[in-house]
Amino acid sequence: MAEKIELVLFDMDNVLCTYDAHARASRLAEFSGGTAADIYRAIWGSGFERLGDNGTLSRQEYLRAFGERIGHALSLADWLEARRVSMTPDPAMLEIAERLRGYVDVAVLTNNTELVVDHIDVLCPELRPLFGSRLYASARFRAAKPDVACYRRCLAALGARPEAVLFVDDLAENVAGAREAGLHGHHFRSVEGLQTELKRHGLLFSGG
């Protein structure tokens, strides 16, 4: 018999929330006086974010280096504002997470600096009531998805067994990493596709 799922572990950006890096770059350009295109290249086109995601840079180091790369002494408040405008919660996905809480544990693992989780109540306040303290940034584990160490350290923090976890992410490589770590994985492309996957595991309830 297949292992019963006890925890659904969600990615955040482009799963629970839509995420627009270009909107974020445009807001940063307003603060810095630069262009959105230059900021996008300096941050998302350079591999810089990976240094925050995998914990190479501490919170303070990350924020300072971020500002240096865009040529502006960026405050935490400005960084948070630009991050906030790039995120839009998906009501259908939040409803699924809410309903799943009646059946299994739910948690979030996002490739991000710990600043995102520290300030999630500013960035996306809809998540805290659903996930409580079970919101994890990869930087906490000094490894980023799809590194198997990221999943294993997250599950250790959650006290969960990999074979009893379903991981949901919009990037195929992150799903592959989760499966390598022993988790079940679902490549998220649509709410309907996730509902089908949940039904396959006996998790989606009538009316879903």
Q: Is the pTM of this model over 0.85?
A: yes
pLDDT of residue 80: 98
Q: Which of 85, 109, 129 delimits the end of a domain?
A: 85
Q: How many whole angstroms separate alpha carbon 207 and alpha carbon 203? A: 12
Say if residue 40 is in the same domain as residue 115: no
Residue 2 lies in a domain: no
Query: Mean pLDDT, to the nearest integer, of 69-79?
Result: 96
* 27: containing domain: 21-85
CA distances from 26 to 29, 35, 36, 39, 73 (A): 5, 7, 5, 8, 16
Number of domains in the chain: 2
pLDDT digits (tens, 9 = 90+) for 178-193: 999 999 999 999 999 9
What percent of the chain has pLDDT above 70?
A: 97
Say if residue 144 is in the same domain as residue 71: no
**206 pLDDT more than 70:** no
Say if residue 59 is in the same domain as residue 99: no
Q: Which of 29, 59, 85 delimits the end of a domain?
A: 85
pLDDT of residue 46: 95
Q: Which of 32, 65, 85 delimits the end of a domain?
A: 85
